[in-house]
Amino acid sequence: MQFELSNKKLNSIKADFELVFIQNKNLKKFSKEKDFFKLNNFQGEGVLLDTRNQKLFTELKSLSYEDIRLSLCNAYKNLEKLNIKSIKMPSIIGDCVVRSFISLTEGILFGAYKFDKYKSEKKANTLKKIIISSEELNGKKFNLDEAKLGLERGQILANATNFTKDIVNEIPEIYTPLKMAEDAKKLAKENKNITCKIYDEKFLEKEKMNAFLAVNRASIHPPRLIHLSYKAKNSKKRIVFVGKGLTYDSGGLSLKPSDFMLTMKADKSGAAAAMGIIKAVSELNLDLEVHCILGATENMIGGNAYKPDDVLISREGVSIEVRNTDAEGRLVLADCLSYAQDLKPDLLIDMATLTGACVVGLGEYTSAIMGNNEGLQNEFYLSSKKSGEYTTILHFNPHLKELIKSNIADVSNTASSRYGGAITAGLFLDKFIRKEYKDKWLHLDIAGPAYVEKAWGYSSFGASGAGVRMCVNFLIHLLRKSK
């Protein structure tokens, strides 16, 4: 998709179609279209296509960034069906020019996203060019350099998010741990400022990552620990992301019911998001040092599968009683978090589709933020709101720690009660965070929005790329704060 910012007024720009925005259902200024609106019973809601005059009237509920995204996504979805090559539109400016243009771009590129690789009939789309006039919707003047920055940043964020979606949507037959390793190497090859190191099962054995290895034991596909890194010349902070990369999760011997096993190709969403984040960071050339540690494996069944009642000794030396093999993601993360802390991060963030309890508690569209540092959690939450992703904070409760106590090991991988399951999973991970990093760590449970089997907002069926925009937005926030 090509975006072009034009100095010309809207009426002077040549394009196949024009986008006309209806704000607050206000139709008073559209006197020429009065009869057309009446004929189509158009009240300013949704969209109305006028093919005779080559216009699409689309509702813009407000100038909030989220409403800008939604309006542009809805407009694109209607225009992509037409045999047109270009559209023109006025600039839409909310509180911030840069964020407004980011939102505009994201709305269109998210609307354009499809995962139709396995469809025998693919719908062709001729629309390739979006021309945005410097004439602002409400007649205000704005900084064109900020607009250009917003367009550039919006494309980078949307493309990184869509890149993540492609990984999550890919089927488990194709997307094995080795495939994730291949994609990581390819990402580093395409982005010269990213380096990639891949470690096999022998390395995991040497590092005593026994929890990670146990999860992989019954799979025919070997595990991989993937380390992606990016370092700017003038890096201000070292940030380490840890991503759960379960390329498929059957539940292991604690086998999932068939209905719950469906969509488990999305259990790699945390690792996929980490890859999307470092892709965006590299293309934005942020003054940071960023590392991504991805634990890629499958959780399958077999004669050599790890079992309920096993006790595993993790890389941190913490012993784990296995009471449910379907609580496997936290085992992989435990060893990956241990490895990540050796990098001495200024900030440590793990992302995982960790618990169904999080989806029950928050719904399908909201990620949970957990950790020990309430100030850091609040800061991340406020930043995430501007990114377009929905989050909320789940605070740790010391009484819930009692639920993951074990009689025969240091900790149990499942709680003794089903209540508070998202938080007890977070508290389990906390057992593997060293004292010096307790206040520098955030746990993001993205189980809800990572993969939803229906379109919602400007997210299509399937993967949403959860985690990418909110984390990159937070990194930009940290850089601003450090100036």
Q: How many residues does the chain have?
A: 483
* 165 counts as catalytic: no
Q: Nearest 5°: CA angle at 427, between 246 and 272?
A: 25
326 is in an annotated binding site: yes
Q: Is 173 annotated as contributing to ligand binding?
A: no
Contact yes or no for 313/193 (Cβ under 8 A): no
Furthest C-alpha separation in the chain: 78
Question: Does 244 show up as a binding residue in the annotation?
Answer: yes
Sheet (strand 238-249) strand order: 194-199, 224-231, 289-299, 238-249, 347-352, 441-445, 366-371, 390-393
For 346-375, letters b (16+ CB in 10 Å) and e give ebbbbbbbbbebbbebbebbbbbbbbbeee
256 is catalytic: yes
Alpha carbons 38 and 104: distance in angstroms, whole number: 29
CA 230, distance to chain mean position in Å, is 19
CA nearest 473: which of 245, 261, 284?
284
The answer to whether 207 is annotated as binding is no
How far apart are the C-alpha atoms of 139 and 60, rounded to whole Å?
16
Q: Which residue in the list 265, 268, 315, 330 is annotated as catalytic?
A: 330
Given a contact cutoff of 8 angstroms between Cβ atoms, the answer to whether 326 and 277 are in contact is: no
- For the sheet with 319-321, list strands across it: 311-313, 319-321, 411-412
Tokens of 383: 């930043």
Q: On the CB side of 296, how many CA atoms lie within 13 Å of its CA?
A: 30
Per annotation, catalytic residue among 55, 256, 401, 434: 256
Q: Provide the annotated active-site residues.
A: 256, 330
Binding residues for Mn(2+): 244, 249, 267, 326, 328
- List residues forming the annotated binding site: 244, 249, 267, 326, 328
